[in-house]
Structure 1
Amino acid sequence: MKSLAQLLIFPLLFGMCFFNNESDKSLGTVEKNTKISGNKPFAIVQLFTSQGCSSCPSADVLLEKVEKEYEGKNVFVLSYHVDYWNRLGWKDVFSKKDFSDMQYSYSGKFGGSNVYTPQAVVNGDVHFVGSSEAKMNGYLSKFLKLNAENTILLSNVKQNGDQITFNYKIEGTISGKDLKVALAIEKKETNVKRGENSGRKLSSVNIVVEQLEIPLTETEGRGSIIIPGLVENGDPLTLIGFTQSKNFDITAATQQKI
């Protein structure tokens, strides 16, 4: 892991991309193609990554492995590409400042103002280096023993041009919570031509390209999300919705393929 300062001074001595130090925090009838957590235990992994970070590809590979190995077990994965490593010679086409800001918000919860890549966050409650398979499996095992606070159903999902519309229904307490719906490309490969990963073909799963936030005042409603221009014809898309408290704890998740 390396801070930006370390990156500039000692580019060959560190294996993970840091903006500063990381620390672990301990635990405190559906439509076809829908994954829904219900009130059953679930886990959602949010990986903060970058094509400009030399230590991120191993975390991307692990995330895809998790998606495959935990299929059918209410485990949901999302890749958020941050933008602060774009200065290293390669601009990550999927990167957004919004995702970097989201990561900084998490860092405040976790007791600091620093961010690093690759960082995995599970259920908005714990974080660790995203390439650590032992920690990944350990935290998933813990969360998959805890019942969800809410239930989410996304239905009547329709695409009209560059707009996707959907209905949602939430069960359980919604006070102080938001519904967040991420639009993601299920899988994509990118040939990186410059920067730390120059010459490599990188693969990512569930790459978030847009995310909608709906403050919850009602248990049912309708939402829409615009498909950004970077999405190409033929890119397989999916919606992953999750309820999240103001303290960033995630209380339920669901997935609807498009």
Structure 2
Amino acid sequence: MRFISFLSACTALIACTVGSTGANAGTTCSVNSPAHRVALVELYTSEGCSSCPPADHWLSALDHARSANTVVPLALHVDYWDSLGWKDRFAQATFTARQRQLSDEGHQHVVYTPEVFIDGREMRDWSDDARFVATIQQLNAEASPVDIHVETHPTQAGRMTFDVSFQSSAKPADNLLAYAVVYENRLDSAVKAGENAGVTLHHDRVVRQWIGPVALANGHAAIAGDSLGGSAQSGVVAFAEDRKTGEVLQVADLLPCTN
């Protein structure tokens, strides 16, 4: 896959403050979504699919090259390849169900890997740099009706808690659903069977925990979680979508932030 040339390497805007002293002392990290829409890129992939590694590499390159507050990539590993010789340790039935839901909402009624959705809409020509760039820029030019705030709190080695708040000015605001996910970077798998037998696969932005949907009530929602993350490779993404259409209206990405 070609490199996304328009995205300059940039560190996301993250606020970090030193927490109190004591057994659970650590760094509290937070991020707020911007006024404009940020694009959520969902890659549906599997370690059992021979055409998926190039897409995984594309997503990693996008992550490393993107500018802050433009696009947020996630890799969701589906489980329908697991019976064909290799069980993907990152696969979850929840991700397969979401892929099918997005496909049905877009009237495609078919799922495959690799498949890419941008803000809840399928994009089959995602490897076309010009089309991909134009889609992201168009979304970034729109104002978002949702404000998202994400905080993480390391509690002990290998764990973290997180809190996410959503506030919406959309009318009616109760038509929105909220989600929070924990992802992990720099994951490797030495595949022993299936279409990728003998290949060591490298993954970034792999979703490990999924919370939602949580309905907004009177324009507000809150999600709290506890994760096995907390390492230098774990982060939290939160997003809000229209419950009727599946369109993602805003996303916030809190990159890994540790002592």
TM range (shorter): 0.7 to 0.9
Equivalent pair of 2:174/2:215 in contact (CA under 8 Å): no
Counterpart residue number, 1:90: 86
Distance 1:48 1:38 in 2: 26
Structure 1 34/71 Cα, relative in aligned 2: closer, same or farther at 3 Å? farther
For normalisation by structure 1, the TM-score amounts to 0.78
Check the 8 A contact 1:118/1:131 in 2, yes or no.
Answer: no
Do the aligned residues in 1 keep the contact of 2:31 with 2:150 (CA within 8 Å)?
Answer: no
C-alpha contact (below 8 Å) 1:37/1:74 kept by paired residues:
no
Q: Are 1:80 and 2:76 an aligned pair? A: yes
CA–CA distance in structure 1, aligned partners of residues 248 and 221 of structure 2: 20
SS, match of residue 128 in structure 1: coil
Distance 2:166 2:87 in 1: 38
Runs of at least 5 residues in structure 1 that lack an aligned partner in the other structure:
1-28
Aligned length: 226
User: Which stretch of the first structure deviates more once superposed, 94-103 or 178-187?
Assistant: 178-187
When normalised by structure 2's length, the TM-score is 0.78
Does 1:31 pair with 2:31? no
1:257 CA displacement = 3.2
Measured on the aligned residues, the alpha-carbon RMSD in Å equals 2.5
- Residue 186 of structure 2 corresponds to 187
Letter in 2 for 1:252: Q
CA change 1:219–1:163 in 2 (3 A) is: farther
Deviations 1:191-228 (Å, cap 9, x if unpaired)?
11111111112112111111111211155554333436
> Would you say 1:150 and 2:134 are equivalent positions?
no
Give the 3 Å change call, closer, same or farther, for CA 31–168 of structure 1 in structure 2.
farther
Query: 162-171 or 181-190, which moves further after superposition?
Result: 162-171
Identical counterparts, % of pairs: 22
What SS does the corresponding residue of 2:196 show, helix, strand or coil? coil
SS of corresponding position for 1:164? strand
Q: Which runs of 5+ in 2 are unaligned?
A: 1-12, 17-28
Q: CA deviation at 1:107?
A: 1.1
Q: In structure 2, what is the equivalent of residue 5 of structure 1?
A: none
**Which residue number corresponds to residue 60 of structure 1?**
56
